[in-house]
Structure 1
Amino acid sequence: MKKPFYFQPLYFLFWVLFFIVSRAAFLLYHLDNTTQVTISELAGTFWYGSRLDLSFASYLSAVPFIVAFVSSLWQRLPAAAIIRWFTFVWLGIISVILAADLELYSHWGFRLDSTPLQYLNTPTEMAASAASAPLLLLTFVALALTGIFIIIYKLFFDLANYRLNRFSWITAVLSFAFIALLVLPMRGGVQQIPINQSTAYFSDKPFVNHASLNMPWNMMHSMLKYGEQSTNPYLYLPADSAENVVHKLYSSVADTSGQVVKTGKPNVLFIILESYTAKMVESLGGEKGVTPNLDKLAKEGISFTNFYASGDRSQKGMVSILSGYPVQPATSIVKVPKKSEKLPQLSHTFEQQGYNTSFYYGGELEFANLKSYFLNGGYDKLIDKYAFPEESYNSKWGAHDHVLFERVLKDLKNEKEPFFSTVYTLSSHEPFEIPTKPKFPVTDDVSKYRNSVNYTDWALGNFIAAAKKESWWQNTLVVLVADHGHPYPNKDENHAPSKFHIPFILTGGAISKHGVTIDALGSQTDIAATILSQVGLPHTEYVWSRNLLAPTKKPFAFYVFQDGFGYITPAGVVTFDNTAKKVISRDEAVSESQLQAGKAYLQYSFADFLEK
């Protein structure tokens, strides 16, 4: 007959084993990445990740340990049944989340955390994003994990053998002691600071560190911290030093600017392209034949060839483009309306100058809380999927891009000039559904993405061709830019600069120069100052924005990914992991001062975010 206090340590080890197997499943699912690491790094993912495994095993053991303690005092408690069903339910929940994490990591480049909470108010869009996932395989993984460990539980945890309902003072005392002892692995030991993600980080390879994480622990920690942004986690320099570094970056921009717009008060039409990467644009060194219309527009206007997205999410890109504001690595200012309402917006700036303003999107504006942001921008007209007939909902996201452009063209025929209008496409978002015959063979998600980009380019080309026949065209500046880049087609690492390299093109009838390429370094935050300078409007409100057509002594581009940043200068690129507090990659010519400038920029911009 087994003694009652054998149950607690064995139950604890049951969950530890579950997390070891889960980590092995993660490594197998991402075998392409796993084969690139050494044996010692592979072993390190289990060793360094063990403290987080022990921590979350402690959280899961708390309820069964309490039940075991109570059952030693109250023999009528159905302890065996309670613990059994508690275990089976949590096995199922965690297995499903772990399976989802396997595929999401392929797209996001980071382990599952509180990020999905940002999209709970738009479940349809969440489902659309997941539509391209191998659901049968992931379902099998979830069921297999659950089933295997239910069998293990039944084989080794016949709780009747542990005499949980037999009273003795020693059993009660030991049961209580086991509960108390859980505190140590929960917090990771007796050290002053409880464990966090960096506890599992030990390598300079992001994938290795990510594999070391205990995903359920990571998600729990992130959810508990969700919305909690009262302190600055990026304190690398003294506050005045960080401020001084950033001010020098912006004070180095000259007051003079090259003029490329030939009319004094042109219409301004922003076309924001969903998930457009430079790797798909031939004129930017990308694949041939995917975006012929965008390449043509680049030749007709001005193309910025060294331009980068500020972040890797739509809501982050929108704020950078339309407010000239930096992106936060692990949150987004649009999720906090009391902060985002304090930002300047181009729509409001143009409205104050007598412009009629409008925003067009074929999907739901509520997505990622963007509606509150756009309402704060004071647009005269906001058009989303509900302004389109249901028969035009050819995509799970909403109206396809050619339908969207047809509506924009129709409305602009009757729009009073001058106008400021923003159009946001959606068809090149996962699951990459298009209503036309694919141009390229469809073999995998990469080819689906390629075809979706090509479809949007076709819709854009038709729109521009029709717009050129309209009376408003000759007095219109068209701004083409992506909301963010994409890891496809090369499946870039999460921090790679090529993932953030995007098109930025000025064209339209109001442009006075054609076929110009500008290699000045810039990012989405610089669009506001650049455009306002061209139309003769002040941009003093947009303090984080630089005029890319003005000379500067300190050219740079800054971008963020999931708790990390990249900083680019003519010397090269450095990327930094804020969790591990380590450089991920660094070009040979990159100096220590460049790394410090990147840290200063993140620190100072996040301090500004907190003060909003």
Structure 2
Amino acid sequence: MDASFAAYLSVIPFFLFLLKAIFPSLPIFNFLKYYTWLFIGVLALLTAIDLELYNAWGFRLDATPLQYLATPNEMAASAGNAPVLLLVLIFLGLALFGFYIFRRLVPHFTFGSRRQLLFIVLSVWFLAFLIVPIRGGLQHIPINQSDVYFSDNIFANHAAVNLPWNLMYSLSKRNYENKNPYEYFPDSSAQNLVSELYKTPAGAQVPMVLKNPRPNVLFIILESYTVKVVGCLGAKPGATPNLDKLAREGILFDSIYASGDRSEKGLVALLSSYPVQTTTSIVKTPRKTEHLPHLNQELEAQGYRSRFYYGGELAFANIKSYLLNAGYDHLISKFDFEAKDYNSKWGVHDHILLQRVLRDLHDEKQPFFTTVFTLSSHEPYDIPIPNKFAGTDETTRFRNSVYYTDYALGQFITAAKKETWWQNTLVVLAADHGHRFPGDDPNDAPSKFRIPFILTGGALAVQQQVISKVGSQTDIVPTVLAQMNLPVNHYQWSKNLLNPHARDFAFYVFNDGFGYITPAGAVTFDNVARKIIRKDETVPPAQLDYGKAYMQVSFGDFLAK
């Protein structure tokens, strides 16, 4: 792979050598010098960036960051915890070392006219020969990442990948056309396996938990909330006292997993019940999101008024196009707040956002559907209140940011309970994705994807219930719609979590891999190496087949959208 990328870089110089052989007076060496210097600098910069992104994301630098270029401020905020000085020093060190090697070890070739024909022949030969290292050899299939994977240790495999080659390959593969890269079974066999997952007995009795079938719906999406910080789900207490209280006042689902690890992917799973893609996202393609079902569309057909609130910039990761396709009546973002309220690098802090929601709902016509997406628990964990937990390490700062959002949520709920609309409102609380902290989980770890999901509010007829069915973000919308006696046939990738006969499973993806969880345990799989990363001893062999089939069929559906 190293030779392959070196050969790609050599195409232009070798072509210039051919021109120089044909036209000896052609000045090419200054161009080649600057060309080399340029790539020394670029590669040094990419290496420094990769060091930090791998620490945060768990995979080598690819085209993923490109979807955030439209929102540079948010990108900068995400990098708020990066050791910038150290990365700059690494970049300068690599660049200067590259310049030194170039100046000291690379000779200057000259082309003599007496050997012009020989030079022409050699230049043509070398230029043509580059195709061999570019494709990785003479084998039938050109080189790809799986060719350099050699270990059961995923970190070792990642380390073997050539960084700039991986980035170039990713850029060339981002816009999938018709080829599904995850074909493990004949299509009919894969479809049959997936269909089995959603079969339930006809006429199964599902408990009804609402006081009436047309409540207001307040859907609060919590940024980066992971089970690992939620007290009522077994974490060390103290970070989420208000969320814990809301769980006691309603229904707590304790075995729910995020479908992916990015915010824009989580929104689609939460609001459209649509599976997440690995190295791309359906949000990037508005023509595809036009064909997605959406909770807002179902409720607006029933006369609901709708609003979406976010304290940051909705252009981030192309989220705005998805929400517009969903048909929200009003979109409220950071630009709807005064500049003096921009207390966070992302936009406005959660307590300011929730105060705005509270004011608007006071006069909102019922029934309403309001979606709120928090942000203060996102990197760089910038909060406007004193720290709850002592320490400056990243895990502690993350816990403090979760505590602050929980504090803001508690203030909001306390005030909301005094409003006339509260007694007829169902509150849905779920995270957009999990988090690697605490514990600095590997990219594929199930614990990184386990998230809270709570139903609460004045419209709920039951309290202090815990549902332990294994499920996913994609199961939330149909669970709510079924309680409202509304059709769920548009949501083929989901089940009703309150149906005791629904199958216990959750599927999630990370970068070019997937995890599949049942009560028997978890298995995670690397789609590049085509190898299991981890597998609990109690997991039966068939569980991996279900995961592969889900990966294949869901991505095929994405391509067909």
Runs of 4+ in 1 over 3 A off after TM superposition: 164-167
Q: Does 1:163 align with 2:110?
A: yes
C-alpha contact (below 8 Å) 1:128/1:396 kept by paired residues: yes
How far did 1:560 drift? 0.5
Q: Does 1:211 align with 2:182?
A: no
Secondary structure in 1 matching 2:198? helix
Q: Does 1:511 align with 2:425?
A: no
CA separation in 2, counterparts of 1:326 and 1:252? 20
The CA deviation string for residues 159-181 of structure 1, in whole angstroms up to 9 with x for no partner, is: 1xx22465522122212211111
Change (3 A) 1:96 1:380: same
C-alpha contact (below 8 Å) 2:423/2:458 kept by paired residues: yes
Change (3 A) 1:340 1:554: same
How far did 1:532 drift? 0.5
Q: Aligned residue for 2:538?
A: 589
How far did 1:500 drift? 0.2
CA separation in 2, counterparts of 1:213 and 1:67? 29
Length, aligned pairs only: 559
| Structure 2 unaligned blocks of 5 or more | none
Matched AA of 1:163: T
The CA deviation string for residues 141-171 of structure 1, in whole angstroms up to 9 with x for no partner, is: 1111110111111111241xx2246552212
Q: Does 1:544 align with 2:493?
A: yes
Q: Aligned residue for 1:521?
A: 470
The CA deviation string for residues 301-346 of structure 1, in whole angstroms up to 9 with x for no partner, is: 1110011001111111111110111111111111111111111100
How far did 1:475 drift? 0.6
How far did 1:114 drift? 0.7
CA separation in 2, counterparts of 1:221 and 1:274? 31
The CA deviation string for residues 253-282 of structure 1, in whole angstroms up to 9 with x for no partner, is: 663211111122110000000011000101
Q: Does 1:381 align with 2:330?
A: yes
CA separation in 2, counterparts of 1:232 and 1:80? 44
Q: Aligned residue for 1:172?
A: 120
C-alpha contact (below 8 Å) 2:496/2:502 kept by paired residues: no
C-alpha contact (below 8 Å) 1:481/1:502 kept by paired residues: yes
User: Mapping of 1:420-431 within 5 angstroms?
Assistant: 420-431=369-380
C-alpha contact (below 8 Å) 1:79/1:164 kept by paired residues: no
User: Mapping of 1:331-342 within 5 angstroms?
Assistant: 331-342=280-291
C-alpha contact (below 8 Å) 1:304/1:504 kept by paired residues: yes
Change (3 A) 1:385 1:165: farther
Q: Aligned residue for 1:146?
A: 95
Q: Aligned residue for 2:449?
A: 500
Q: Aligned residue for 1:224?
A: 172
Q: Aligned residue for 1:245?
A: 193
Q: Of Structure 1 and Structure 2, which has the larger fraction of its residues in helix?
A: 1
- Could you state the TM-score of these two structures normalised by the residue count of structure 2? 0.98
C-alpha contact (below 8 Å) 2:174/2:279 kept by paired residues: no
Change (3 A) 1:571 1:431: same
User: Mapping of 1:464-475 within 5 angstroms?
Assistant: 464-475=413-424
CA separation in 1, counterparts of 2:58 and 2:201? 35
Q: Aligned residue for 2:14?
A: 65
Matched AA of 1:79: I
- Pick one of 168, 180, 190 that aligns with 2:138: 190
C-alpha contact (below 8 Å) 2:342/2:348 kept by paired residues: yes
CA separation in 2, counterparts of 1:253 and 1:134? 55
Secondary structure in 1 matching 2:451? coil
Matched AA of 1:233: P
Secondary structure in 2 matching 1:136? helix
C-alpha contact (below 8 Å) 2:254/2:468 kept by paired residues: yes
- Could you state the TM-score of these two structures normalised by the residue count of structure 1? 0.90
Q: Aligned residue for 2:5?
A: 56
Q: Does 1:476 align with 2:404?
A: no
- Pick one of 226, 235, 246 that aligns with 2:183: 235
Change (3 A) 1:425 1:553: closer
CA separation in 2, counterparts of 1:274 and 1:423? 10
The CA deviation string for residues 581-604 of structure 1, in whole angstroms up to 9 with x for no partner, is: 111111111111111011111111
Q: Does 1:91 align with 2:40?
A: yes
C-alpha contact (below 8 Å) 1:340/1:373 kept by paired residues: yes
Aligned alpha-carbon RMSD (Å): 1.2
Q: Does 1:132 align with 2:81?
A: yes
